Each structure stands twice: as C-alpha cells, then as structure tokens.
Structure 1
C-alpha cells in the first residue's frame, strides 16, 4: 500500500512539473516580450546595459535617468486599432439566446465579446499564442444514474447560470496533446492558474497561490502544491483539490494564434524581433544621454604642477564648480593651463542616425512606416513615394487579414463551445464574420467611385461588383435571405439598359446620337445644329 501511494505521489509530482520542451525553451523569451510590452521602471533594471568604460556609480545614475518611448506597445496597439476599426458582422437571426447573452457579457468582469477578442488578439500579438477557456459558473446537474447532464432553462435562470471566457497567455500554457487520429482537436491541455487567498480580509493571508488545471474531453482536475511536514522536515506535495465532469465531448479550450499557422506547438508573435530592436533604441538613447551629460558638464583637466603641495584638491574642485578632475603631467617646463574636456559631438550624431534607422525599421517591418515621421514627431510625415506607401499598405493589409481570419475562426469556435455548455444545438453556419479588407476608403469615397464609373461608361459587370462591395459596407449585419435578395437585384441591375443612359450627368441628361466619323470613329451630332451646306 505504501509503495502504491509513493508511486502515485511521484506520478503527480512528475505531472505537475512537466512542461512541453519547446515551451521550456521559449519561457525566457516570453517573459522578455511581456516585460517589453508592459514597460514601467522595473524594465530598465534588466535591460539597460553598462558600457565597458563605465563605473558602477555612473552606470547606476545613468540607469536612473533612462527614458523610453515604448515602440513595442505602440506597434501592437496600432495593429489592434486598425483590426477592430472595421465592422464585425455577428448574425442575430437564428442565433441562440445564450450566444446573444454571451456576446453581451463574455467575461466575468462584464466585457462584451468585441472587447474580449481585442484583448485576446493583443495578447497573441505579444506571445504568438494564447489559450481561450470557455467555462461556466455552475456545476452540471446529474441524472438518476449519476451521469452529468446540462441544466434546464428553468434551472439555469434559478441558479444565475453564466457562461464566460478568459485568456491564459503562453507563459501559463504548460503542455497539451492533439488527437492525431481523430478530428485533430485537443485531447487534453494543462494550464497554470494564479489565485489569491483574499476572501476574508482578516483571516486570509493574501498570498498568491499557484495551481495547475488539467482539462480533458470529459472533465477538469485541479491540482495544488502544498507544504506538509514529514517527520522533522517540510516538503512540497502535489494534491488534487477539485474535479468536475462535463459532457461536452471536447476540451473547452481554444488556442488563438497571432496568425494562422500549421505548426502545432509554435506560433510566432508580432513583436518577436521588434522588442529587441526597441531595447537597442533605449540603450542608444541612454548612451546619448551620457554624452549630453559629459558635453554639458565637461571634465576638468589640470596640470599637476598647478597644484601646490599640501593643497586640498577637493576644495579646488568645488571652487571650479565640478566634482570630477583629471590631473596630468604637462612635461618639464610646460606652462599648460587648466581646461575642460568633453566628448566629440560627432559621436552623438552617429547614435542619432542609428536610432532613427532602427525606429524606421521597427515600423516598416509591419507596414506602419506612415505612422512614423521622417526624423521625429516634430518634423512631419515622411515624403515616401506613392508606390512605397502602397507596398506598405499591402504589407499591413495582409497582416490584418490573417489576424482577422484567426480571430474569426477563434470566435466561431467560442460560439460552438457556448452552445455545448448550454446544451443547445450550434448553428451549422458561422455566425461571425470579420472584415476581409482594411483599406481606408470610406462609404462616401465609394459613392464618388460609383459616379465616376457611371460617367466613364464602365462595363456593367464592373459596376455590379462595385455595388456588391458597397452593400457589404452599408449592411454588414443583414440576414442571409435579404443578402441573397439584394444580390439577385444587383445581378439584374442595368440589364437591357443602354450603358450610356446610366450616366445622364455625363451628357447633360440626353442620349447622344451615334454617327460614323473618320477612320471608323464614333462621334455625336448636336440635335440643334444643322448640317453644313455643301454649296459653293
């Protein structure tokens, strides 16, 4: 019996400590990315480096003076701003009520689904991958045989039943496995959680407690590490502190990636390289600050023969208004005078050029070069060519499109899990559609374009396709049957109509009369003008 207990104890310990090898290697990188995005004064402690000629005291003071514009956070927030600027279409017709309620309050704190997905998208931009857990606040009811069953509508209302979601970042995703022979979904996933012992303000300690939760396709199990006394010594023992079955048939956890990737255990983030470039900029700015300090408060150099024996050198330094002094031997018979030494100002120019280059690369990497100015924020937007800006737009539009597709896939999977928890049938078609383009053309611009196409007598099918895109912008949340009706109307639009009549403003409201001109050209005759006389 004791042997079995020891084996079980060792298995729990091995399970609790186990982490996927790839995630073990990436942990330090993820911690750095998290700190780079969060910023704060603590970031400077680990990320400002001493240069080789610097003393401990000078380094400490330079680190205290260090400053930073958080380009890492700026890039992530700009992408989020563009991604969620467009209209996300969520179908209302035929959608279960439980899904509509979830969209209104997707988290325990009351955030709606758009706010939640924005938070999830921002987190996977930092870490590359996050886990979205869809859970509920009630235990499932049981049948007479003891099997788990979903709550009825009456039971759910009576117990204030709620389905909610929360995000677990990559640092706390410990391990998981896929069903390679089945649907390719998760078999199980192991997540780390943090809770605080603070329910009672007087009795509880307020300590942060670390736990591990294992989600499977049929239940979840919660483990915690506790200190117990074994004889005279104290050791940490892993214990199961909770377990609950569910009848979902799937693991209620979705892996939400920054972009759609085929790699099962890896997902690159948006700032994998940007965070390191941002750190380099901060260190160069700190070095530039040191040059400015030395340029402003130059070092005093005094010939050794200028200091008489017995003089108090510290008093002389104070009289000259500086705390640092450099004494040198001017040579026999020299009449050298004291002077101030300062660094070469060209060094500052080199650092500034490098800083501007790196900052430009940070934003150019993701196609956001237009968000930055040519030199700094006081100069104005850079005057890149239209072709260069077009390529930048295509780069950022491609990035936004892949992120939108990733968010759309994740949100539709969330809808499926919400329906499973509520015990209702999930809709067969996707309820959520994210934008497929992120151009800056507004509806007013589309109307101007439509008028221009009419004036140019563009082909009918070109104008129909443009109208279809306008309808998507005008009515993004239309039901499918209404969209189909409008689509049929557009397909028959201008059918059997003279294209020239479709643009009356181009010809003063009159239809021109076609007449053959020279070399087969078509010209128009004015209805009020008589033909020229042929008589001599």
Structure 2
C-alpha cells in the first residue's frame, strides 16, 4: 500500500504553483473562537511566499544549463524524435527537464514511450507524417495500480490520462494498462492488444536512489511544502498583528462630569484641536502595545526560511545569513553539487532506457550514448576570490601566480563564450612568461653573483642552473644558456656583491 495519497500530491502541486488553498486562503488555519468574518478577511489579505518552487527549481535548472552531449548511429527517425519528442515540438532536452521537475517535486515521474497506432508503409511517410514513437509524462497520482516482481522490477502499471475536452462536457478520462506482453485502454472506447517489445514501455525517473520495489516513494519536498504552509500561516498572523497593533492608542483622562460616551465622541486628528482640563494631573497621551510578540513571530519566520534552505541542501545560498567556517561552507557546496550530480545521472539512465525502447519499437540499433554535465559551477565566488587574492599575495613564483590567475578566471568568468575564455587564459600565460624574466635590482644582482661564481669556478654549473630555475623562475633552457655563457668567462679580480661600490 502506498503511504502517499492523491491529496498529498495535490498539496505538493498547490505548494509549487501557489494554487488551491494557497490561492484562496483555505490553507490558513482559523484561530480558536475566530469569527467567520475575521477568518474570511484574513484569507482575502493572505499572500504566499513560494519557497517550494524556488528550491525544486534549484535542483533541476543547473542540470540543464548546458545541453547534454548525445551521440547515436545515423537514424533519421531518432533525429526527428530528439527534435520533437512529444509530437508538440518539444525537443528531448526540454522534455527531460520537465520530467526532472516532476520527478523532483513528486519523487518520481513515469515516462511513457508509445508508438503511433497506424504505421506508415515507408520510411519517407514516417518522416513526413511524424508517425514514429513519442513520449509523455505520467505523474504518480495518475497511477492507480502497479505490480513488481521479487526483485522490485516494475512489470505492470495502470494509470489514468485526460482525454479530449469538450467545452460542453467534462474532460474524459482514459485508463491504460501495460504489462510485459499486453496493453489495454478503456474510457469512451475499449481497445487492447499485444505488447510486442517484451518489456514495459515505461521509464520511472526517480529524484534520488530508491529501494527496489518502492515505486511511489514520498517526495523529499513534502516536508518543505509543509513548512511553506506554516510560513503561509505565519505571514498571515504577522500581518494581522501589524494591522491590529500598528496604530497607537490615545488615552484621555475624563474630566469631572464627563461620561465615557462623551470621551469617545472626541475627534482626534492632525487638523483639529483637542482641549482637556488643565487642572487634571494626567494629560492625554498615546500608548503602544508591546512589539515583543511581533518580533517573536518575525524571528520564527526567518528560522523557517533557513530550515527550508537547509532541508533543500541549499544552506550556502545568500538567503541564509549564517556565519560558518570555511570547512562547513565547503561541505555545503559539496552536498549541493552531489545532489545535482545524482539527479543528472538519473536523467542519463532514463534517456538510455528511452533509446532502448525506441530501438525495440522501430527495429533499429542506435548505439545511443548521453552525457550530462557533472560540473555545475556552484562556487562561493566571493570566498574563492578572497583565497585567490591571498595566494597571489604570497608571490611564490610566476608559474604559481599564473595558475592562480587562471583559477580566478574559471571562477569569475565561467559563463563567457569559450573563445573569449581561451583568449583570457592565453593572455595570462603570456604575461606570466614576461613576469618570469622581470627581476628587480636585488634579484638581478643576486643572479649575477651566481653566474660570476660559475666563472670563478667556485660553483658547479649544474648547481648554478638549478639555483636560477628554483630561485628566479627561469625555465631550464634559459638558465642553461646563461650558465654555459659563463663557463669560459674570466673571473673578475674583485667579486661583485650586493654592496659593491663603483
């Protein structure tokens, strides 16, 4: 029995799109003894801060920021399929992104690969008429029944899909049933036949690794949606408190003989004068309710937002203002990257299964290979640039500085065109070569002393060569040329030192 029911999937849909009870306010919980009038007023004034959609999208958008790499054997039908996967002009990348969003929100999305009923006589007709396999998505709430074998493999599935809609009638529902050997559909009409490919034309795309046989698991975003519902109520409570307590209350000491009714009739405003008995020891004044309850609710709201980001493995985002150590931040980034990598691998596996079923439906061989990006550029840019600045300050050597600068380019300019990126790196490398031979006065003097020691035969040429390479950043060829030139030079009568006087 599936623990996740239809109402749970509807709640997730409402949380993602801001529909249902978030739109009409019915997800607001009435206060004890709250009158219907006040409750309806709160529903009318309610607003929804949608963190569910933002967190779900953040788990999918980076995966499809760059186009997956796809390769297959020459096949005109599959080439058309990649450009138009669902007969509505949706290419395979956009279709897979939609499937991934559904999988993330609902924990699983079922990709159905079906073939057109009336097959053409020729390949040319199939291409012209697009009479070839197509895909569509079935959400887990549409699945009414399924069976698995002892190993947890899905071997049959039954689901409902919406049929054609008539403006004067309700949308019809068609039910499909697939097994490894048969298929059947019923609704306005009933049809059935043999499944000739010997396997289900169904590819479950899971949001994360699941135990075998767990076909409809609970969504990892369900608790986030529940928290977002509490946030929805909290915002209403804060708004209600502000409306009730934002304005100060005027206290007016009643004079002798004045009644409570007479005091209430006093008009207070910026354009009129209010008189009071000056003989009274107390004068009119404004009092304000305590702001402590309001601040408490605001703190609770901020805590809930932080918890939403934490549960979504997005603690590194700027929406969470926390002081964390460098190690902790690095761990957060690693978790987020790994989450994206896992989902990308799931999409790769789903595409390969789609290609396998396409082969069976068209009696072809694709040798299909697909590769999604595994580098999503989730980097704390400010922190990385601070580290790069510190590394450059060490001034270890020109080659070290060159590599550090190239790292800065990869962090800060990772979204520029490849040609521009290569040009920037080439410029850094050329400047690094110039820096290698740019010595200050003290360095020049020290290098000359090394070469003079070679001429005086007090320093072995090989040792001098290693010193020039290690201490002055010269490459092996340039250091060798300088040492060789000094081997036959005459040693000076007065050694040159850093303090030599001329």
TM-score normalised to the size of structure 2?
0.70
2:59 corresponds in structure 1 to 79
Residues of 1 paired with 2:129 and 2:470: CA distance?
79
Q: Is the alpha carbon distance of 1:283 and 1:247 closer, same or farther for their aligned partners in structure 2, counting shifts above 3 Å?
A: same
Deviations 1:459-496 (A, max 9, x none): xxxxxxx9xxx9xx979xxxxxxxxxxxxxxxxxxxxx
2:331 to 391, 405, 426: 391
Q: Is the alpha carbon distance of 1:81 and 1:514 closer, same or farther for their aligned partners in structure 2, counting shifts above 3 Å?
A: farther
Map 1:133-532 → 2, pairs under 5 A: 133-140=112-119, 152-154=122-124, 156-157=126-127, 160-180=130-150, 185-198=153-166, 205-224=168-187, 241-265=190-214, 266-297=216-247, 316=264, 343-373=289-319, 384-427=324-367, 430-440=368-378, 455-456=399-400, 507-508=436-437, 514-515=462-463, 527=483
Q: Is the 8 A contact 2:67 2:93 kept in 1?
A: no
| RMSD of equivalent CA atoms | 4.4
Residues of 2 paired with 1:297 and 1:280: CA distance?
27
Which secondary structure does the structure 2 equivalent of 1:437 belong to?
Answer: coil
Displacement after TM superposition at 1:54 (Å):
3.1
Displacement after TM superposition at 1:177 (Å):
1.8
- Larger CA Rg, structure 1 vs 2: 2
2:25 corresponds in structure 1 to 45
Which secondary structure does the structure 2 equivalent of 1:22 belong to?
Answer: coil
Residues of 1 paired with 2:397 and 2:195: CA distance?
58
Deviations 1:209-253 (A, max 9, x none): 2232101223321123x8xxxxxxxxxxxxx62224342111111
Q: Is the alpha carbon distance of 1:439 and 1:157 closer, same or farther for their aligned partners in structure 2, counting shifts above 3 Å?
A: closer
Displacement after TM superposition at 1:395 (Å):
1.1
Residues of 2 paired with 1:337 and 1:58: CA distance?
35
Q: Is the 8 A contact 1:88 1:432 kept in 2?
A: yes
Q: Is the alpha carbon distance of 1:318 and 1:364 closer, same or farther for their aligned partners in structure 2, counting shifts above 3 Å?
A: farther
Q: Is the alpha carbon distance of 1:208 and 1:350 closer, same or farther for their aligned partners in structure 2, counting shifts above 3 Å?
A: same
2:442 corresponds in structure 1 to none
Q: Is the alpha carbon distance of 1:41 and 1:257 closer, same or farther for their aligned partners in structure 2, counting shifts above 3 Å?
A: closer
Q: Is the 8 A contact 2:99 2:109 kept in 1?
A: yes
Q: Is the 8 A contact 1:257 1:267 kept in 2?
A: no
Which secondary structure does the structure 2 equivalent of 1:424 belong to?
Answer: coil
Residues of 1 paired with 2:75 and 2:398: CA distance?
43
Residues of 2 paired with 1:55 and 1:169: CA distance?
39
Residues of 1 paired with 2:58 and 2:360: CA distance?
35
Deviations 1:5-61 (A, max 9, x none): xxxxxxxxxxxxxxxx215x4333222111111103642533111233533222221
Residues of 2 paired with 1:457 and 1:308: CA distance?
85
Q: Is the alpha carbon distance of 1:80 and 1:453 closer, same or farther for their aligned partners in structure 2, counting shifts above 3 Å?
A: farther
In the alignment, structure 2 segments of 5+ residues that lack a partner are 270-279, 403-409, 420-431, 439-450, 452-460, 473-478, 497-502
The range that moved more, 110-119 or 211-220, is 211-220
Does 2:103 correspond to 1:124? Answer: yes
TM-score normalised to the size of structure 1?
0.66
How many correspondences in the alignment? Answer: 414
Displacement after TM superposition at 1:129 (Å):
0.7
Q: Is the alpha carbon distance of 1:517 and 1:340 closer, same or farther for their aligned partners in structure 2, counting shifts above 3 Å?
A: same
Q: Is the alpha carbon distance of 1:507 and 1:188 closer, same or farther for their aligned partners in structure 2, counting shifts above 3 Å?
A: same
In the alignment, structure 1 segments of 5+ residues that lack a partner are 1-20, 142-150, 227-239, 322-333, 376-381, 459-465, 476-502
Q: Is the alpha carbon distance of 1:453 and 1:518 closer, same or farther for their aligned partners in structure 2, counting shifts above 3 Å?
A: closer
Which secondary structure does the structure 1 equivalent of 2:145 belong to?
Answer: strand
Residues of 1 paired with 2:471 and 2:283: CA distance?
93
Q: Is the 8 A contact 2:77 2:127 kept in 1?
A: no
Structure (1/2) with the larger strand percentage? 1
1:462 corresponds in structure 2 to none
Displacement after TM superposition at 1:364 (Å):
2.7
